[in-house]
Amino acid sequence: MLGLPGLLTRMVDVALIVASAAAAAALRLDEIGAQERFDAAFVVFAAAFVLALFPVFGVYQSWRGRSILRLVGQVSFAWIFVQGCSLVLMFALHRTDFISRLWFAYWTTIAGGSLIALRVSVRAVLGRMRHAGLNLRKVAIVGCGTHCEGVVRNIEASPASGFRVTAIYHVRPRVGVSNLDVPVCDELSAFAERIRIEGVQELWLALPLSEEGTILRMINEFRNELINVRFIPDVRSLALFDGGMIDLIGVPAINLLASPLSPHALVQKEIFDRVFAAAVLIALAPMLIGIAVAVKLSSPGPVFFKQKRKGADGHVFTIYKFRSMRLHVEQPGVVKQATRDDPRITHIGAFLRRTSLDELPQFINVLRGEMSVVGPRPHAIEHDELYHKIVEGYIHRYRIKPGITGWAQVNGLRGETDRVEKMQLRVEHDLFYLRNWSFALDMRIVAATISNGMMHSNAY
């Protein structure tokens, strides 16, 4: 059942969207000062899609203790998706001729900014209230060792989240937590009594999977009480990525070695990839044609360089680049990387490689669903066969689609990998990206790639 706060938030969102549409119409004046057409149907469709789709994107979930960057990214993506759906519906109804493109751009920007500003402001107000000791949720923790201590430290480092630790129960006193200014109980009876007396709302079980007996004891102890019992498993020794909970044919499961991105996140990434790739290919079509002509005139051979690469889950696909080298023969099973002042590279090819313009045809791969805009860079299959045996974690780069740009690339890890250490460092950055993926991080990488002009001293 939808509570009053959730209903109020939805009503405010709809009001902001309508008000933003009116503000955009007021800003967009024609030459004689008359107001631009305010398309009420478009606004109604957008408001309806917001009510229907924002819950799907998790916009109305509680953001207590979650990243503000992720909040901004989630709201931004959801609003852009809503506007895309509304625009498609208007096109289907043959009403796009009545829409001012500038009004639409103003409206989308103002409404998106308002939706984000509202949430950031509310979050800031709640954060100040929680700093002042209001709107707090008391937390009791069951655990032992460094995992339990880490959970407590995270809570203490995030006072704006509104969580406060009031008690800890040591499962193994000899390896308990240390140097924490929190009351500690060594007996379950005393711990349970403290929880009930202080009205604790949250009980977090920061335990390894081997403590099944303790987990069952806690659940049985508080089964008939209004306390949220949450399990924060210690799977650090087992899981490569953060062990997210998923629904697997109706059964809850924890990912230990699997794609760290949820199906919901993959859908977000897929939609952005296809839309962005189509926009780039259309916008840069004249440049692409000019480069193709220059490549064709630079030396005999095809315009595109094609090579087999591994994509998500190891599926092999054909990657496209503008050809930057003269035609040459390589030994079977051997791929020689380009080196500085490589004689095989043409003059136009050297320019394309320095500016990374030779990578532009890979947007075709993105549009075909074989690559992503952001992700680990794909290597030649021969290099995959070599490095996955000697570089720790190399194979996990293919848990998701490879990208045109990535976290490693914007941090300067590009070009020739003539030493294993270079590849190891690149893989470490790729795994960091997988562990910390968010839509906001993708936008940060895209922005860094564009602002840096895609040029780098290691690109040759």
Contacts 24+ apart (CB under 8 A), 218-227: 218/142, 221/188, 221/192, 222/192, 222/195, 225/196, 226/201, 227/195, 227/200, 227/201, 227/202, 227/203
Angle between helix 40-53 and helix 68-92 axes, rounded to 10 deg: 130
Tell me if 296 sits within 8 A of 327, measured CB to CB: no
* pLDDT value of position 418: 67
Tell me if 202 sits within 8 A of 163, measured CB to CB: yes
Tell me if 273 sits within 8 A of 366, measured CB to CB: yes
Token pair of 448 as six digits: 């860094």
The ranges assigned to domains in the chain are 4-131, 137-239, 264-451
By DSSP bridging, strand 304-310 and strand 316-322 are antiparallel
What are the angstrom distances between the C-alpha of 135 and each of 129, 130, 138, 364? 7, 6, 10, 51
**Per-residue model confidence as pLDDT tens for the chain (460 residues):** 344 467 888 899 999 999 999 888 888 754 334 444 557 888 999 999 999 888 887 788 776 666 777 788 889 888 998 998 888 888 888 777 777 888 888 899 999 999 999 988 888 887 777 666 676 788 999 987 788 888 888 887 777 677 888 888 888 765 555 566 778 887 888 898 988 988 888 899 988 878 888 889 889 888 888 888 988 887 665 656 655 666 666 666 666 667 778 777 888 888 889 989 999 999 999 999 999 999 999 888 899 999 999 998 889 999 999 998 887 656 555 555 555 666 778 888 888 888 889 999 999 999 999 999 999 999 888 888 888 888 888 888 888 899 999 999 998 887 666 678 888 899 999 999 988 888 888 989 998 988 876 555 555 4
**Closest by CA position to 169, among listed 142, 204, 203:** 142
Rounded CA gap, 142 and 188, in Å? Answer: 10
- Region at 26 (left for phi over 0; alpha for psi -120 to 50; beta for the rest): alpha
The CATH number assigned to the domain with range 137-239 reads 3.40.50.720
